[in-house]
Amino acid sequence: MYRTLLIGLDGATFKVLDSLMNDGVMPFLREFLARGVRADLLSTPNALTPPAWTSLVTGRTPGHHGIFDFVHAEEGAEGLYFTLNMSYDIRCETIWSIVSREGGSVTSLNFPVSYPPWPVNGHVVPGFTHWKHLRRSVHPPEFYETLKTIPGFDARALSMDMNQELKSIQYLPPEEYLGWIEHHIKREAQWFNIARHILEHSPTDLLAVLFDGVDKLQHLCWRFIDPEIFPSHPDPTESMIHERCLDYFRQLDGFIRDLVRLAGPQARIFLASDHGFGATSEVFYANVWLEREGYLRWTEEAAKDAAGFMSADRIKSHVVGIDWKHTSAYALTPSSNGIYIRRADGAPGEGQRAIAAEQYEAFRRELADRLLAFRHPVTGRQFIKRVMTREEAFPGDANSRAPDLTLVLEDYGFLSVLNADEVVKRRPEEAGTHNPLGVFMAGGEGIEGPQALSQLEIIDVAPTLLHSLGMTIPEDMEGRVVTECYQREALARLPLEYAGAAKATAAAAQLETQAAEEPVRMDEDEQEKLFAKLKLLGYME
Amino acid sequence: MKELEEKVRYRREQIEDDVIGIVTGMIRDWDEDFSGAVKGETQLIADLDFPSLDIAVLVAEIHRFYQQKHLPFERVFLSNGLPARDIQVAALVDFLYEYLND
pLDDT digits (tens, 9 = 90+) for B34-67: 667 899 999 998 888 888 888 889 999 999 999 9
Taking CA–CA distances from B60, the nearest residue in chain A reads A116
Domain boundaries of chain A, sorted by first residue: 4-57+93-275+436-474, 282-428
A121 C-beta neighbours (distance < 10 Å), count: 17
* Residue contacts between A and B (CB atoms, under 8 Å): 67
Mean pLDDT of A277-283: 94
What is the Cα–Cα distance from A128 to B53, expressed in whole angstroms?
Answer: 11
Partner residue opposite A316 with nearest CB, options B52, B57, B69: B52
Q: Which segments of A285-345 are extended strands (E)?
A: 329-331, 338-341
A370 interfacial to chain B (CB closer than 8 Å): no
Contact A130 B60 (CB under 8 A): no
Which of B93, B68, B74, B59 is closest to A347 using CA atoms?
B74
Sequence-separated (6 or more) residues with CB below 8 Å from residue A156: A131
DSSP A84: E
Contact A81 B53 (CB under 8 A): no
Q: How many helices (H) and strands (E) does chain B have?
A: 5, 2
Taking CA–CA distances from A321, the nearest residue in chain B reads B82
SS3 content of chain A, % helix, strand, coil (to 5): 40, 20, 40
Q: Taking a contact as any Cβ pair under 8 Å apart, which residues of chain A between 66 and 105 contact chain B?
A: 74, 76, 78-81, 83-84, 86, 88
**Residues A399-432 pLDDT 10s:** 999 999 999 999 999 999 988 999 999 988 888 9
- Dmax (CA) for chain B in angstroms is 44
**DSSP-assigned states of every residue in A283-296:** EEBHHHHHHHTTS-
* Chain B residue numbers touching A317 (CB-CB < 8 A): 83
What's the CATH number of domain B2-100, 3.30.200.20, 3.40.309.10, 1.10.1760.20, 1.10.1200.10?
1.10.1200.10
User: For chain A, what is the radius of gyration of the CA atoms?
Assistant: 23
Give the total residue count for chain B.
102
Contact B26 A74 (CB under 8 A): no
At the second CATH level, the architecture of A4-57+93-275+436-474 is: 3-Layer(aba) Sandwich (3.40)
- The fraction of chain A above a pLDDT of 70, given in percent, is 85
- The CATH class, in words, for A282-428 is alpha beta
Given this model, what pLDDT does residue B60 score? Answer: 92
**Residues A97-148 pLDDT 10s:** 999 999 999 999 999 999 999 999 999 999 988 898 999 999 999 999 999 9
Which of A67, A117, A59, A102 is closest to A206 using CA atoms?
A102
Given this model, what pLDDT does residue A173 score? Answer: 78
Alpha-carbon gap: A179 to the closest alpha carbon of chain B (Å): 24
Contact B78 A79 (CB under 8 A): yes
Q: Are A488 and A514 within 8 A, CB to CB?
A: no
ipTM: 0.80
Partner residue opposite A135 with nearest CB, options B29, B80, B81: B29
Contact B60 A316 (CB under 8 A): no
Query: Are A4-57+93-275+436-474 and A282-428 the same fold in CATH?
Result: no
Taking CA–CA distances from B67, the nearest residue in chain A reads A88
**Residues A42-70 pLDDT 10s:** 999 999 999 999 999 999 999 999 999 99
Q: Which residue has the higher pLDDT, A442 or A317?
A: A442
The confidence band for A338, taking pLDDT boundaries of 50, 70 and 90, is: very high
Give residue ranges of B with CB < 8 Å to any A CB. Answer: 25-26, 29-30, 51-54, 56-57, 59-61, 63-64, 69, 72-75, 77-83
Contact A76 B83 (CB under 8 A): no
Q: Are A326 and A351 within 8 A, CB to CB?
A: yes
Prediction pTM value = 0.89
